[in-house]
Amino acid sequence: MRLKDKVALITGAGRGIGREAALLFAREGAKVAVCDVIDEGQQVADEIIRQGGEALFVKADVTDREQVRRMVATVRERFGRIDILINNAGVLRDAQLHKLSEEDWDLVIDVNLKGVFNVTQAVAPIMIEQGRGKIINVASVVALYGNFGQTNYVAAKAGVIGLTKVWARELGRKGINVNAVAPGVIQTEMIAKVPEKILEMLRERTPLGRLGTPRDVANAYLFLASDEADYINGAVLSVDGGLVV
């Protein structure tokens, strides 16, 4: 088991990539804090427990600093430590610049960027005290090349890459690795409304000839969270089938 007795806190773990990561981490021996603003997180924790693992569901909104503080305190009280943080929570509210509302700008920046800041700032002191930890931030390939109709999302995810670089410098000397994963087009609920014609175009543009799966991304999280990645710090790992080369 690659994560035996490690404690992993995963945000946005109620569905999609976060759910897949939570289940995978549990199978690899981790005790998993399933954190999400949606109640489906309890189902994920229950599934882990049914399979013989240890899990705790904590309902929290990553944009609310007090909820984040309580979430982190609850996880530490239950498990005694936090070894791995996956900043996976995210939302989409796409629109071209001239149609993008202030509300949708604020929501995407708050969840996808401020949420990463809030949770990491709450967890980092615990990892510093431990002298070790792994932080994995979730960016996106669109942060590397931009994307039509995603002003807010691209800005947030580019910001996440910037935070990752800064924290790798600041926290690396404390024994904490900070890296980012940049998924491509992954088959989750987030792309459910994308027209099939667009998805087919993206498949054709991807050298591997397919869209990604949640497991593809969860495997990248697992690698960066494991001891095998102990000398990787400040990296951005694209999981996109070669879409951005």
Q: What is the pLDDT along the chain (245 residues), one digit of tens a residue?
A: 999 999 999 999 999 999 999 999 999 999 999 999 999 999 999 999 999 999 999 999 999 999 999 999 999 999 999 999 999 999 999 999 999 999 999 999 999 999 999 999 999 999 999 999 999 999 999 999 999 999 999 999 999 999 999 999 999 999 999 999 999 999 988 777 778 888 898 899 999 999 999 999 999 999 999 999 999 999 999 999 999 87
- Residues recognised as catalytic: 153
Please tell me whether residue 161 adopts helix, strand or coil conformation: helix
Whether 3 contacts 84, CB under 8 Å: yes
Q: Which of 78, 74, 112, 99 has its CA nearest to residue 190?
A: 112
Cβ within 8 Å of residue 212, ≥6 positions away: 183, 184, 185, 186, 187, 239, 240, 241
Report how far apart, in Å, the C-alpha atoms of 215 and of each of 24, 40, 67, 96, 107 are: 8, 18, 29, 31, 27
Which amino acid belongs to residue 96? Q
Whether 134 contacts 83, CB under 8 Å: yes
- pLDDT value at residue 92: 94
Strands 31-36 and 55-59: parallel
Whether 200 contacts 5, CB under 8 Å: no
- pLDDT value at residue 90: 97
- pLDDT value at residue 244: 84
Domain ranges of the chain: 7-185+214-238
- pLDDT value at residue 153: 97
**What CATH code would you report for 7-185+214-238?**
3.40.50.720
